[in-house]
Structure 1
Amino acid sequence: MPLLVTVRAHVVDNWPRLLRYCGTSAVGVLLGQTILRVGYDLFGWSGLVSNLVAFLIANIPVYHLNRSWVWDRYGRSRWGREVLPFWLVSVAGLALSSLTVGLVDYRTDNGWFITAASVGAFGTVWLVKYAVCDRFLFGPPQESDHPAEHTRETADDGPRSAGVR
């Protein structure tokens, strides 16, 4: 099947998840860029240091939002199957972003150019990260996975029920 047809079918079948992924990414970008600009403009850190600190702080809630809100995974995170691969893909984005931010910072001291370089570099990794998360990390449960880790059990205990057990 041609790539465009495959992508279109995935988007049609998974548009709510894709919208949640976009929302999670928006949270990560807003948080990360705010931290980057505070570090760069207020604390006087270099673009590279600001970018690294922003990445480390913003990536923590992004991981948890992706896992729980986007892919409905609950329970304990599995380090080898979820956490480590997620951070490795994220570090690839950080490496590209740091290289780009470092080059831009070397050429100018304009904070908006630093911001644009960071967003542009992370944006190129964004689609790859979605594919990795969907296909390998948080996608459909594997046979060896325990069902309770993936979905919440809905309670039907009457009108006063909290709705989730």
Structure 2
Amino acid sequence: MLHIARRALWWLRSPQGVKYTRYFLGSVITTVISFLTLTILYGVVHRWGAVTCTVIANVVATIPAYWLNRTWTWGKTGKSDTWREVVPFWVASLAGIAISMVTAAWAADLARAHHLHRLGQTVLVDGANLAAYGVLFIGKYLLFERLFLAAERRRRAGADDLRAGSVPEGLAPVAPAARTALASGPAPSDALPLEEAVTASVD
């Protein structure tokens, strides 16, 4: 048992364990944001139906979810790539919202069928939203892992290509020797000066 606990602690301290822990905590934060928004809109304000409130709550939570996942979990900085990061992230998030819409509609129908009061309806809709989050939790992690790591590899590859292309191939090793030769003046030649060559030939 102690061995298992040590292995688990070692894994949590590893880069992959830290990343997964941050992803989990980020999901908890965005889930709380979604639940609070949904509870206020559906349970307190009650201006729209369960499906509409669920969509609004998930869209509100998706905005901080992107930044938490990109900067905190995967440690990416700099400008976001619209087509390779932002768009795929929102497509995945909208797919999750679509699933949440289905579960919210099912929960609302179930609440009406059993004539639940307002608190019971809110709890049921919140529970359906939580179930949708749970189903998508692992799938989103695998998608974001591939999404953000691929973007980071492309960025590093581009930086390496830029550094390699800044100096023409074969010039860098020659440059120090060329600078030394220029600084020390022309190299001595084994050839005789013209006057000495002529004199030698006459002799």
Tell me, yes or no, if structure 1 residue 132 matches structure 2 residue 143: yes
Correspondences of 1:36-51 after superposition (within 5 Å): 36-44=38-46, 45-51=48-54
User: For residues 73 and 32 of structure 1, do their structure 2 counterparts lie closer, same or farther at Cα, with a shift above 3 Å needed?
Assistant: same
Is 2:74–2:148's contact at 8 Å kept on the other side of the alignment? Answer: yes
Distance, in Å, in 1 between the alignment partners of 2:109 and 2:15 is 44
Distance, in Å, in 2 between the alignment partners of 1:68 and 1:25 is 14
- CA shift, 1:84, in A, is 0.6
| RMSD over aligned Cα atoms | 2.0
Q: Secondary structure at the match of 2:153?
A: coil
Aligned length: 138
Which structure would you say has the larger Rg?
2
Aligned counterpart for 1:59 among listed residues 59, 62, 66: 62
After TM superposition, what 4+ stretches of structure 1 lie above 2 angstroms from structure 2? Answer: 10-13, 143-147
Is 1:96–1:122's contact at 8 Å kept on the other side of the alignment? Answer: no
Tell me, yes or no, if structure 1 residue 116 matches structure 2 residue 127: yes
Q: Please, which moves more after superposition, 69-78 or 103-112?
A: 103-112
Any gaps of 5 or more consecutive residues in structure 1? 1-9, 148-165
Query: Which protein is richer in helix relative to its size?
Result: 2
TM-score by length of 2: 0.63
Distance, in Å, in 1 between the alignment partners of 2:39 and 2:154 is 45
Corresponding position of 1:154: none
Is 1:48–1:101's contact at 8 Å kept on the other side of the alignment? Answer: yes
Is 2:26–2:69's contact at 8 Å kept on the other side of the alignment? Answer: yes
Is 1:104–1:114's contact at 8 Å kept on the other side of the alignment? Answer: yes
- CA shift, 1:47, in A, is 0.8
- CA shift, 1:144, in A, is 4.5
Corresponding position of 2:186: none
Tell me, yes or no, if structure 1 residue 29 matches structure 2 residue 39: no
- CA shift, 1:142, in A, is 1.8
Is 1:94–1:122's contact at 8 Å kept on the other side of the alignment? Answer: no
Any gaps of 5 or more consecutive residues in structure 2? 1-10, 160-203
Higher normalized contact order (CA 8 Å, seq sep 6+, divided by chain length): 1
Distance, in Å, in 1 between the alignment partners of 2:38 and 2:129 is 9
Query: Identity across aligned pairs (percent)?
Result: 28
Q: Please, which moves more after superposition, 104-113 or 75-84?
A: 104-113
